[in-house]
């Protein structure tokens, strides 16, 4: 299940993933919000609180994740990945030099630090 987290600035896409993640909810919740922020602000700050593993994403939801990542490739500004899965944090760190913007990875206990970093104004990055 994915749910938007609402206690973030408007230029931030913030969602929590827990349990099983299906295509329809990923499209209706995450992709819709990413498209909205991209259209309104041009750049996107993004945080995901992963309380589930990638193995719980349906294949279709995972493909949507890749689709939205490439659709807005040049608009990613700050991406915070919050997960206790070490392999996932390691994978994102390895991908960081290949993507536009900056990726930082945090353990679940460091969620507040991730929130503060990703919530910084877009102007601070120019």
As a residue count, the chain comes to: 126
Q: 4 pairs with which residues across the strands?
A: 15
Is the pTM of the predicted complex or chain greater than 0.95?
no
> What is the tally of structural domains in the chain?
1
pLDDT (tens, 9 = 90+) of the chain, 126 residues, equals 999 999 999 999 999 999 888 888 888 998 899 999 999 999 999 999 989 877 766 666 666 666 766 565 678 899 898 988 887 677 767 766 667 788 899 999 999 999 999 999 886 444
Return the CATH number at 118: 3.30.750
Q: The domain containing residue 65 runs over which residues? A: 2-125
């Amino acid at each position: 299940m994915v749910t938007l987290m609402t206690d973030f600035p408007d230029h931030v896409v913030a969602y929590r993933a827990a349990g099983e993640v299906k295509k329809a909810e990923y499209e209706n919740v995450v992709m819709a919000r990413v498209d909205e922020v991209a259209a309104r602000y041009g750049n996107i700050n993004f945080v995901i609180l992963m309380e589930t593993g990638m193995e719980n994403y349906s294949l279709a939801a995972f493909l949507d994740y890749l689709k939205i990542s490439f659709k807005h490739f040049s608009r990613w500004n700050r991406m915070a990945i919050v997960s206790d899965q070490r392999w996932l944090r390691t994978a994102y760190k390895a991908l960081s030099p290949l993507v536009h913007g900056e990726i930082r990875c945090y353990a679940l206990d460091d969620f507040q630090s991730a929130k503060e970093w990703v919530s910084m104004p877009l102007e601070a990055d120019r």
